[in-house]
Amino acid sequence: MNKAEEIEKKVEELLQPIIMENNLELVDAEYVKEKEGYYLKIAIDKDGGVFISDCETVSRAIENELDILNFIKDEYTLEVSSPGLDRQLRKEKEFVKYSGRLVDVKFYQKINGTKEIQAELVGLIDGKIVLKSETEEKIEFNKEDVASVKLTVII
């Protein structure tokens, strides 16, 4: 486990009581280095949508815990947000929750002549992302070949 994964795991453990107490769902906790420095990005969700007050509550609570425990040695920026309309699906439960929805899938390398596809999500089955095409044909991809799976935003 690398440094970022260790931090993410500890942060997820710290977030559990905060998330439960506020009837929220932890979508993701990610510790990343970007041009401007390190970021601890926390994405939360709940039925009916996330409000700014939900983000503030989680931010204040986790900030206090992180200050007390002080296990992140780098200077970092804390961001708490909703996953957005075009949320990226990462966890198995998200593939279950959004089964039947239209998704945009991007691949690391071209597969069948393309690096991206839009189709209906069937689910994550035995490590494979399963989609249904417009012609009702089932398509399977190894999860390792997929760079991202995001919900399609239809306006």
Return the pLDDT at 15. 96
pLDDT of residue 41: 96
**Based on the domain organization, do 55 and 106 belong to the same domain?**
no
Q: 105 lies in a domain?
A: yes
Q: Which domain holds residue 147?
A: 92-151
**CA-wise closest residue to 46 among 13, 83, 79:** 83
Rounded to two decimals, the pTM is 0.78
Asked if the structure places residue 139 within a domain, the reply is yes
Write down the pLDDT at residue 91. Answer: 86
Q: Regarding beta strands 138-142 and 128-132, do their DSSP bridges make them parallel or antiparallel, or are they unpaired? A: antiparallel
- The pLDDT score that the predictor gives to residue 127 is 86
CATH number for the domain that contains residue 96 = 2.30.30.100
- Same domain, yes or no: 74 and 20: yes
Give the C-alpha separation, 11 to 3, whole Å.
12
* pLDDT at site 52: 97
Same structural domain, 22 and 76: yes
55 lies in the same domain as 100: no
End position of a domain, from candidates 37, 55, 81: 81
Residues of the chain with pLDDT under 50: none
